[in-house]
Amino acid sequence: MSIISRRTALRMALSTPFLSLAGMAQAQEIGLTLPDDLANPDGVRNNVSGFRRIDWRDHFDSLNANGTIVADTVSRALHFWSGDGGTYKLYPTSVPVTDELTRRGYTEVVKKVDGPTWTPTPSMRERDPSLPAVVPAGPQNPLGTHALYLSWQYYRIHGTHDTRKIGRRSSDGCIGLYNEQIADLYSRVSVGAQVKLV
Catalytic residues: 158, 174
With left for phi above 0 and alpha for psi between -120 and 50, is residue 104 left, alpha or beta? beta
Per-residue CA distances from 103 to 96, 106, 154, 196 (Å): 9, 9, 11, 10
Please, are residues 193 and 107 in contact by the beta-carbon 8 Å criterion?
no
CA 46 to chain centre: 17
Which helix (DSSP H) or strand (DSSP E) does residue 147 occupy? strand 146-150
CA 66 to chain centre: 18
With left for phi above 0 and alpha for psi between -120 and 50, is residue 43 left, alpha or beta? beta
